[in-house]
Chains A and B, each alone.
Chain A
């Protein structure tokens, strides 16, 4: 039997396989250890972390869509100090690989503050910077919708950490390539993409939006073609590695996303309907690799170009 090589490397961090649960769908990882041995994962992108604790948005926060859902959780998290004191030690007990810290902020200073603290945590292998948040110092416009803002956040985080910095891009822009290029220029080590698409559902009985916050992030299998397209475009424009995500639900999707240009992938919404999704995808990879005659996953990165 052929030995299928699923290993990939992100900025020096070697992963046994490219499958990573996406931030916000997997908590701080340890709770999924009740379902299966989470050490089978390539890595884990942890729950989005901010400087201060956040309750998040009012409920309802979830709306179902066709092959997708909308969420408006609002970055609920206990704040970076509690993440370091309470959450990471629990993760360490059941996960012996490096994890990815996912960092949000509402000002450049907040991104830098949280990044500097997480930089000191040994179990964190990569800082993933979510720039989809509104900048409260700049009229509430999302950092990720403006290349200049994206550049500045990247620079500020790079200045406080030695760990690889991956910038997580929002797809809710006219030209995602220009944002990706600005991040690369500012020294980003990689790109994570895509965050959720802005969406809305209306309850026909009440005639009002289902989500309390009206709009939310649309994700799930339905968005995969958008994500594949954007990863394809960004891969053409930057030299740094891409973690691709958006609608990944099967081993076949991993292959497709890597062919578009991703070095690794994240699985998000699928975890919420199948808590075993990542494990199942990893187990299924050799079968799909055999079917498409792939011996080494790294061989197919960007094959579509």
Chain B
């Protein structure tokens, strides 16, 4: 974990409710895909934990959904503003277990962390299929970006307005070596039950601190109690208790 001041380079709407923000500054503290950052916002007591979509030594890009007062405020922030950010939080995904043909599955704002993960898997020479699940065509984002980095991309929409009709689990009928997944808990559970391989699942929970101090986000696993913010957000399939 590192505490850094980052500058907003870009903050733009991708859909009616989903925004993308790119920040510049020292981002060397982000060491693994699947980690998150925790942003201090003026006028809000707690920081806002947001997963990392993409990053490098000197930038980080996040994609966030406007769901409450904090993210509403984030969407109003202009380029040039500096933010106090804790970076490199959480355990992140372990790519070494993936085999040569992993599938990465994201649902809604569970899609962003799969992008950096897919990039790393491809850089390691693996052949990656991405299943991106959305409710409807108007909510889709990042499809082309996944294609550009070399993923085989399948988009699903619940209402069938684009791509495969139904849930991400309707698109899992092919051979793959490992499952990475992030999305709402019902989706994680469906993928857990449908998936034919071992895998890693990224969870979400309301957090206090984001770095393991307050025990606000603890869950039970087969390997003992874990704090989603520090021991997670990624849990391996074998340890999950639903």
Q: Which residues of A contact B (CB under 8 A)?
A: 24-27, 31-32, 34-35, 47, 55-56, 59-69, 71, 73, 76, 210, 220-221, 271-273, 275-276
- Measured between alpha carbons, how far is A252 from B40 in the docked complex, in Å? 22
Scan residues 206-242 of chain B and give those whose CB is less than 8 A from a CB of chain A: 206-209, 211-220, 225, 230
- Given A55-B225, A56-B218, A69-B45 contact (CB < 8 Å): yes
Q: Chain B interface (Cβ within 8 Å of chain A)?
A: 1, 3, 40, 44-47, 86, 205-209, 211-220, 225, 230
B208 and A272 form a contact (CB under 8 A): yes
The reply to whether A276 and B206 contact each other, CB–CB distance below 8 Å, is: no
CB distance from A88 to the nearest CB of B (A): 18
Indicate whether A59 sits within 8 Å of B205 (C-beta atoms), given known contacts A34-B1, A68-B45: yes
Would A61 and B206 count as touching, CB distance under 8 A?
yes
Tell whether, in the assembled complex, residue A273 and residue B46 are in contact, meaning their CB atoms are under 8 Å apart.
yes
Please name all residues of chain A whose beta carbon is closer than 8 Å to the beta carbon of B208 when the two chains form the complex.
Answer: 61-62, 69, 71, 272
Question: How far does the alpha carbon of A116 sit from the alpha carbon of B65 in the complex, in Å?
Answer: 51
Partner of A273, one of B1, B45, B216, B220: B45
- Cα separation A26 to B215 with both chains bound (whole Å): 10
Cβ A275 vs Cβ B209 within 8 A:
yes
Whether the Cβ atoms of A275 and B86 lie closer than 8 Å is yes
In contact, B214 and A272 (Cβ under 8 angstroms): yes
Residue among B46, B86, B215, B216 with the most chain A CB within 10 A? Answer: B215
Taking the closest CB of chain A, its distance from the CB of B205, in whole angstroms, is 6
**Which chain B positions have C-beta within 8 A of A275?**
1, 3, 86, 209, 211, 213
Residues of chain B lying within 8 A (CB to CB) of residue A71: 208, 214, 216
Q: Which B-chain residue is minimally distant from A77 (CB atoms)? A: B215
Question: How far in angstroms is the closest Cβ of chain B from A89?
Answer: 18
A76 and B225 contact, CB distance less than 8 A: yes
In the complex the two chains form, is B213's CB within 8 Å of A26's CB?
Answer: yes
A67 touching B45 in the complex, CB below 8 Å, given contacts A59-B206, A60-B205, A272-B208? yes
Query: Could you name 23 residue pairs across A and B whose Cβ atoms are closer than 8 Å?
Result: A24-B214, A24-B215, A31-B212, A56-B218, A59-B217, A60-B205, A61-B215, A61-B217, A62-B207, A62-B214, A62-B216, A62-B217, A69-B45, A69-B208, A71-B214, A73-B218, A76-B218, A210-B206, A221-B45, A272-B209, A275-B3, A275-B209, A275-B213
Whether B218 and A62, one on each chain, are in contact in the complex, defined by CB atoms closer than 8 angstroms, is no
A31 near B45: Cβ-Cβ < 8 Å? no
Chain B residue nearest to A59 in the complex (CB): B205
Would you call B3 and A27 a contact (CB within 8 A)? no
* A66 near B45: Cβ-Cβ < 8 Å: yes
Distance (Å) between the CB of B124 and the closest chain A CB?
28
Shortest distance from the beta carbon of A210 to any chain B beta carbon, whole Å: 8
Q: Considering residues A24, A63, A66, A273, which has the most beta carbons from chain B within 10 angstroms of its beta carbon?
A: A273
B212 touches A27 (CB 8 A): yes
Partner of A220, one of B3, B45, B220: B45
Task: From known contacts A34-B1, A275-B3, infer whether A64 and B215 are also in contact, taking CB-CB under 8 Å.
Answer: no
A-B contact count (CB 8 A): 84
Contact present for B213 and A59 (CB under 8 Å): no
The smallest beta-carbon distance between B68 and chain A, in angstroms, is 9
Which 4 A-B pairs give the minimum distances between C-beta atoms?
A272-B209, A62-B216, A60-B206, A62-B208
Closest-by-CB residue of B relative to A73 is B215
Chain A CB within 10 Å — which of B46, B47, B225 has the most? B46
A271: chain B residues within 8 A (beta carbon): 209, 213
Nearest residue (CB) in B for A63 is B206
Pick the most buried of A27, A63, A68, A210: most chain B CB atoms within 10 A of its CB. Answer: A27
Q: Which residues of A contact B86 (CB under 8 A)?
A: 275
B216's nearest neighbour on chain A, judged by CB, is A62
Distance of A95 from chain B, by nearest CB (Å): 15
Among residues of A, the one whose C-beta sits closest to the C-beta of B224 is: A78
- Candidate in B45, B212, B219 with the most chain A CB atoms within 10 angstroms: B45
In the assembled complex, the Cα of A221 lies from the Cα of B212 at a distance in Å of 21
What CA separation (Å) do A271 and B209 show in the bound complex? 8
Q: How far does the alpha carbon of A55 sit from the alpha carbon of B45 in the complex, in Å? A: 26
Nearest-neighbour CB distance to chain A for B103, whole angstroms, equals 29
Asked, given contacts A62-B207, A65-B45, A68-B45, whether A273 binds B213 with beta carbons under 8 Å apart, the answer is: no
Residue of A nearest to B212 (CB): A31
Contact between chains at A273 and B47 (CB < 8 Å): yes
* A72 CB to nearest chain B CB (Å): 9
Instruction: Give the distance in Å from the alpha carbon of A72 to the alpha carbon of B218 in the complex.
Output: 12
- Hey, which chain B residues are within 8 Å of A68, CB to CB? 45
| A32 CB contacts on chain B under 8 angstroms | 213
Give the docked Cα–Cα distance between A20 and B86 (Å). Answer: 23
Question: In the assembly, what is the distance between CA of A63 and CA of B207, in Å?
Answer: 9
B218 and A55 contacting across the interface, CB-CB below 8 Å = yes
A64, B1: Cβ atoms closer than 8 Å: no
